[in-house]
Amino acid sequence: MSERFKLWWRGRSTREQRMLLVMFALIAIVLVWLAVLRPLSDLRADAERRHGEAVVALAEAKARAVAAGQVARPGAPLPLPIDSLLARTAADAGFPNARIVTQSPTQATITIEAGRPQAVLGWVRGLEAQGVAVGSLRARINQDRTIFVEAGFNAGPRP
């Protein structure tokens, strides 16, 4: 078989050999794309979707726990300064890179670069259930279906 191929190859002109090499290279690129890159891309998209669903499910479970009274009640005194509460609950809700700026022991602002809307709002709802008041909240939609959030929180009832 190898001899037949070599004989056939030598029977081609230089131009034909180059065109065949380009064709084989393009076929190899397409096969690598179909066999390797596309399945990996699909797996990554599926993993991102499952992660988003898990974050939402966690936020919903925490909100149900607060509603059922298994977490701190609104009447319970909040730990001060409020920034430590925000940092802990943000990390628990899946926002470990949230930036917190303390304005006073009872006031702080938080910035979340990217978060699923349901998870962020579930986290905010959980904070309100614990007695933390939302002073301000600005959200902007990112290109990857997440939201950018800047929120101000106060310990105690809404002013």
Domain boundaries defined on the chain: 1-159
147: closest CA among 114, 110, 100, 111?
A: 114
Mean pLDDT of the residues in the chain: 87
SS3 state at 93: coil
pLDDT tens by residue, 75-108? 556 666 888 889 999 988 888 889 999 988 889 9
Judged against a pLDDT cut of 60, whether residue 61 lies above it is answered with: yes
Model confidence over 38-53: pLDDT tens digits? 999 999 999 999 998 9
Please report, in angstroms and rounded to a whole number, the separation of the first and last CA atoms in the chain. Answer: 86
Q: Please give the model's pTM, rounded to 2 decimal places.
A: 0.51
For residue 106 the two structure tokens come to 């009872």
d(CA 159, CA 136): 11
Provide CB contacts within 8 A for 71, sequence distance 6+: 62, 65, 126, 129, 130
